[in-house]
Amino acid sequence: TNRTATATHRYYLPPERVLSDSEGTAAGGRGGGHGGNAVSRFLDDFFRGLLTPDLLSQPPPPNRTNAAGVQTLTGRTFRSLVLDRPDRHSVVHFYAPTCGHCKRFSNVWNHWARL
């Protein structure tokens, strides 16, 4: 995990690249392993900047704004709607649908959106 001032990037090493024998055959008989040096190669590539981060995100919803004017952010829209707008202030509510506090706060959140 690489934390910066604006984001957290995660880099993943597929398990079949780690769980391989010395000939490079992945566990379970699948090919694609890189032997015992898979972790050291991954770390070397990471420190040289050769890896690209995976963005685990939902696709943007078709209607990003609800009736109260609250916009729904995803991992793909967060930067463009919040970070890349220095002329606007943003208040972000990280919401979990199973959280009771989040559900109770949604009425206040919708009221703030109308201000």
Report which listed range, 14-18, 34-38, 52-56, 85-89, is most confident.
85-89
pTM assigned to the model: 0.47
Beta-strand (E) ranges in 1-115? 2-3, 8-9
Same domain, yes or no, for 91 and 64? Answer: yes
Give 41-95 pLDDT, tens digit per residue: 878 888 899 988 777 788 888 888 877 778 888 888 888 888 888 888 888 888 8
Same domain, yes or no, for 82 and 28? Answer: no
Same domain, yes or no, for 36 and 61? Answer: no
Task: Give me the phi and psi of 3, to 5 degrees please.
Answer: -100, 130
| Average pLDDT of span 102-114 | 83
Same domain, yes or no, for 69 and 103? Answer: yes
Q: How far apart are CA 107 and CA 93, in angstroms?
A: 12
Domain that holds residue 86: 57-115
Domains in the chain, number: 2
Report residue 21's pLDDT band, with 50, 70 and 90 as the boundaries. Answer: low
Share of the chain above pLDDT 90, in %: 2
Tell me 31's DSSP state: S
Same domain, yes or no, for 66 and 23? Answer: no
Same domain, yes or no, for 88 and 108? Answer: yes
Same domain, yes or no, for 66 and 109? Answer: yes
Same domain, yes or no, for 65 and 113? Answer: yes
Same domain, yes or no, for 33 and 76? Answer: no
Same domain, yes or no, for 31 and 80? Answer: no
Same domain, yes or no, for 96 and 67? Answer: yes
Same domain, yes or no, for 107 and 74? Answer: yes
Task: Name residue 9's amino acid.
Answer: H
Contact predicate 114/103, CB 8 Å: no
